[in-house]
C-alpha cells in the first residue's frame, strides 16, 4: 500500500493504459490488484478521461472548485510581495 506521506506519481501514459484496460472490460478488482492501485484512484482516472479527456485534477475541476485554488495562489503571491516590501523597507531605513 502507498505511504500517505509519499504519494505515488504516475505518468499520464500509464494512467491512460489503465483506463483503456478498464474500458476494454477488464474488471476493476483485477486491475487494482495487478497494478496496486486503489479503487478510488482508478475511478478518478476513468471519470477524468470520460469527462474531460484528462486525468489531471486541474482539468477536471468545476469553476467553483477552481476559485479557492486561485485564491490560495493569489494569497501566496501577495504574501511574497509583502515580505519583499518589508525587507526593502528595513534596508532603506538603515541609511
The pLDDT of residue 29:
93
The pLDDT of residue 2:
58
> How would CATH label the architecture of 1-60?
Orthogonal Bundle (1.10)
pLDDT of 1-56, one tens digit each? Answer: 556 676 778 888 898 899 999 999 999 999 999 999 999 989 988 888 887 666 66
**What global pTM score does this model have?**
0.54
Cβ 35 vs Cβ 26: under 8 Å:
no
Amino acid at each position: 500500500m502507498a505511504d500517505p506521506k509519499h504519494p505515488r506519481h504516475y505518468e499520464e501514459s500509464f494512467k491512460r493504459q489503465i483506463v483503456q484496460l478498464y474500458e476494454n472490460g477488464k474488471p476493476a478488482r483485477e486491475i487494482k490488484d495487478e497494478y496496486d492501485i486503489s479503487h478510488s484512484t482508478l475511478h478518478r482516472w476513468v471519470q477524468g478521461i470520460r469527462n474531460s479527456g484528462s486525468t489531471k485534477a486541474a482539468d477536471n475541476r468545476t469553476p467553483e472548485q477552481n476559485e479557492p485554488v486561485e485564491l490560495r495562489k493569489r494569497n501566496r503571491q501577495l504574501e511574497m510581495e509583502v515580505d519583499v516590501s518589508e525587507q526593502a523597507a528595513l534596508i532603506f531605513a538603515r541609511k
